[in-house]
Copies of this chain bind each other. A is one copy, B any other.
Amino acid sequence: MSRPPDDGIRPQEVAVTAPPPGDAALRFIGRIRTPWTARADCPRQGRADGPECRIELFAPWDRALAGLGAHARIEVLYWLDWARRDLVLQHPRGDGRLFGAFALRSPVRPNPIGTAEVALLAVEGAVLRVRGLDCLDGTPLLDLKPARAGFTPEAPPKPGVAG
């Protein structure tokens, strides 16, 4: 089967002495459904006792859910598509103190990717039911992973490599 043309894995493209130039491209693989339809309503952080939310996968990426249901906690990556990306110093408190974007978990950052660790309640076909999100209804989904804590790689250890 063919792979996407931007994959950058062609043999002749390999030798770089600097990071790949320019941007990389994302695909939205699903949509997150939450109770919050305005930014002012979103909590600043997800809570373990927050409302149940839904994550809807788009085909064909729903096939990649196989086995995810074995994990009680998962990491969710999403795209904060309304956030501006040019503010390096921000003023969250209104008290005159500035913070760099990287010192905040604000949506406003050079690459507005949100991450959350949530409780996975159920996998129902192409839909996940989860608890612990804080994003707007309709937020584009980028990735799902088993949560880091407690995760053991399925692949065998590499000979001679610690970890």
Q: Which residue numbers of A lie inside 8 Å of B, CB to CB? A: 1-9, 11, 13-29, 31, 40-47, 50, 60-61, 63-68, 70-71, 74-75, 77, 79, 81-82, 84-86, 88-89, 92-94, 97-106, 109-111, 113, 115-117, 134, 138, 140, 142-146, 148, 151, 153-158, 161-163
Contacts of A21 in B (CB 8 A): 4, 6, 25-27
Copies of this protein in the complex: 2
Contact A6 B5 (CB under 8 A): no
Give the distance to chain B from A82, nearest Cβ to Cβ, in Å: 6
Closest chain B residue to A77 by CB distance? B113
Pick from B20, B43, B103, B144: contact of A102, CB under 8 Å? B144
* CA gap between A54 and B103 in the complex, in Å: 18
* CA gap between A81 and B15 in the complex, in Å: 13
Contact B46 A8 (CB under 8 A): no
Contacts of A138 in B (CB 8 A): 16, 19
Contact B1 A16 (CB under 8 A): yes
Contact B153 A67 (CB under 8 A): no
Contact B111 A26 (CB under 8 A): yes
Contact B43 A16 (CB under 8 A): no
Contact B102 A27 (CB under 8 A): no
Give the distance to chain B from A26, nearest Cβ to Cβ, in Å: 4
* CA gap between A64 and B77 in the complex, in Å: 21
